[in-house]
Amino acid sequence: MPHSETVDLASVPLRELHEQLHGLPADTHRTSWQILNPRGRHAVAVGLDAPIRVRVRGHVGYYAAGMNQKAIVTIEGNAGPGVAENMMSGEVRVLGNASMAAGATGRGGLLVVRGDAGARCGISMKGIDIVVRGSVGHMSAFMGQTGNLVVCGDAGEALGDSLYEARLFVRGAVKSLGADCERKEMNEADRATLAALLLRAELSEFDVRDFALYGSARSLYHFHVDNVSSY
């Protein structure tokens, strides 16, 4: 079992923590880290590029675990705006709530929010998978290009506005759909994808049959004068 490195941000500057984490080689044996007393600091555990596990014991501010590659980051608290922003691979798990723009522009990996996520969850997502146990706010998956957003609760206004090819699975009520987003028939492949995501997120208590699938109507892919008010 690997030794766990502990960094207490009450006494160690955040810059020093990142110097340690960013300096790890790809074959590092220092694979288990815990960060104490984050106290809402911004940009905690950003830019990680090694196959390590990081557990943040408390609440974090803006952009926690942004640009993550390979690492598994667990936040034992709430996260401010932009958690896992531009994530490439690995996993980020928020055990509390996430503020706006969770997983924004994410290109890969898995983001799990055990509580609720705010507005614009998954905005401009480009391949990331996002699973929210609670509800999401307005304009979630706005301009979502690829990837999957799973919402076990409700979704706010303008879900999937200007959506491309991202798939949105919602278990609860949707306040309204955004431009060019529509409900789709769910096939066996969709159900298999959803079941696999719920399993990875450790939320397999939810039944895939209770979810609805939303996707792009593809009417805004090319400019047409009749759709000018929607652009």
Averaged pLDDT, groups of 10, the chain, 231 residues long: 83 96 91 97 97 97 97 98 98 98 98 98 98 98 97 98 96 97 97 98 97 92 59 51
pLDDT of residue 222: 62
Which residue spans within the chain are E strands per DSSP? 4-8, 32-36, 53-57, 72-75, 91-94, 110-113, 126-132, 146-151, 167-170, 181-184, 212-216
State how far the Cα of 121 lies from the Cα of 87, in Å rounded to an integer.
13
pLDDT of residue 1: 43
DSSP bridge pairs for 181? 216
Q: pTM for this one?
A: 0.94
For residue 217, tell me if it sits in a domain: no
For residue 123, tell me if it sits in a domain: yes
Count structural domains, the chain.
1
For residue 102, tell me if it sits in a domain: yes
> How is residue 213 written in tokens?
């699938």
pLDDT of residue 2: 56
For residue 24, tell me if it sits in a domain: yes
Q: How many beta carbons lie within 10 A of that of residue 24, not counting itself?
A: 19
State how far the Cα of 173 lies from the Cα of 193, in Å rounded to an integer.
21
State how far the Cα of 230 lies from the Cα of 14, in Å rounded to an integer.
44
pLDDT of residue 219: 82
3-class DSSP state for residue 188?
Answer: helix
For residue 23, tell me if it sits in a domain: yes
For residue 210, tell me if it sits in a domain: no
3-class DSSP state for residue 20?
Answer: helix
Of 36, 77, 75, 79, the closest CA to residue 61 belongs to 79
> Among all chains, which residue has been given the structure tokens 């990875």?
200
pLDDT of residue 26: 83
pLDDT of residue 200: 97
For residue 223, tell me if it sits in a domain: no
| Rounded alpha-carbon distances, angstroms, from residue 50 to 6, 62, 84, 138, 155 | 17, 22, 15, 34, 34
DSSP 219: S
pLDDT of residue 227: 59
For residue 224, tell me if it sits in a domain: no
State how far the Cα of 1 lies from the Cα of 127, in Å rounded to an integer.
33
Range(s) of the domain holding residue 127: 4-204
State how far the Cα of 217 lies from the Cα of 77, in Å rounded to an integer.
37
